[in-house]
Amino acid sequence: MKCLFATCIMLLILPAWVGQRGSYSLALYRPGNRMEGAVIEPQSLMPGSGWAYIDRTGKVVIKPQFLSAGNFSEGLAHVRRDDRKGKWGFIDKTGKTVIALKFDWAGNFSEGLAPVQLGKKWGFINKTGEFVINPEFDLANEFSEGVAPIAVGTRWGYIDHKGKMIISPRFDYASSFSEGLAEVSRNWGAVDEKWGFIDKTGKPVMDFKYDQTFRFSEGLAPVRTGKKWMYIDKSGKKAFNEMFDYASPFSEGLADIETGNFLTDKRWGYIDKTGRIVIRPQWTNNGSFSEGLANVETGTNSWDYIDKTGKRVFSISAQGVGGFSDGLACVFLLN
């Protein structure tokens, strides 16, 4: 289950919006990315159904009630209820609404701020729900390493915590920084779309030569050229010889990879940082490790959470599930 954004929103197929670890607005979804988190977006909820939150034993601690829900971050999660307003707000870990549901979209809190959409514009709020950076951008992503990607028109740049432009808008798409580097795109969405990496000054450190990229994590980044994925280090050098049909960023020492045909024999497993398969590919859907656990799909509406040996810790019947964050995971339960 992959989601660039850590929002549990479902699109009736079952990917899941978390991610790349860290949550991003669905408005910023990059086509082709696996989703990470949990994702379901039904049009309305049946009584007793909806997104809920479970603890590490699989116990439901916040009952099913949300049409959409995000992972907890810095003690809060962004949620949307099944009502005509369709607005987003934030709850605490007891399920209490602490920031009113009044935004048109919302992302996770990071570095004390969260990106939110009000009307057609994006800004950043603090944990009292007050705007710290006024809604003046066309899109916005979460803060990481002191800066946040924002869009002005169709161009992306970066701002600091005061809203000051640090890197002028000049990219077709820009991702959050991770380990000092950020993915940026040239000709995003076009046939000749390419990706590279920049440093905190906006200087390219790896040219636009990849067909797809994910963030650096634990010193390595997955990149795709042609049909195959590999891992590179920060010099752009291939980290190991193994290549995969799909690859995700490392998390807690392991990365989830796909082997086999995407349509007919899609199987996901996990590798270590030498490229060695440590949990054999055997699942049709899964998520990255977070807080020692990863979710894997074992059948229709059937999921296991496994440990790093591949051993099942608990099972749950759910239409969609997300990874653990702040000790809780969002799951879509059916009555």
Predicted TM-score (pTM) of this structure: 0.87
What pLDDT is stored for residue 263 in this prediction? 59
What pLDDT is stored for residue 42 in this prediction? 55
Compute and round to an integer the Cα radius of gyration of the chain.
19
| Pair 61, 328: CB distance under 8 Å | yes
Q: Compute the distance between CA of residue 134 and CA of residue 264 in angstroms, rounded to an integer.
A: 48
Q: Compute the distance between CA of residue 306 and CA of residue 54 in angstroms, rounded to an integer.
A: 15
| Pair 41, 163: CB distance under 8 Å | no
Q: What is the mean pLDDT of each run of 10 residues along the chain (335 residues)?
A: 44 30 35 43 74 97 96 97 88 98 97 98 98 98 98 97 98 97 94 96 96 97 96 97 96 94 75 97 95 96 97 97 97 92
What pLDDT is stored for residue 1 in this prediction? 40
Question: Which class is 7-333 in CATH?
Answer: mainly beta
CA distances from 233 to 108, 206, 230, 237 (A): 28, 11, 10, 6
What pLDDT is stored for residue 218 in this prediction? 98
pLDDT tens digits along 207-263: 999 999 999 999 999 999 999 999 999 999 999 999 999 999 999 999 999 997 655
The gap between the terminal CA atoms of the chain, to the nearest Å, is 22
What pLDDT is stored for residue 8 in this prediction? 56
- Give the full edge-to-edge strand order of the sheet including 173-174: 173-174, 182-186, 194-198, 204-210
Amino acid letter at 282? Q
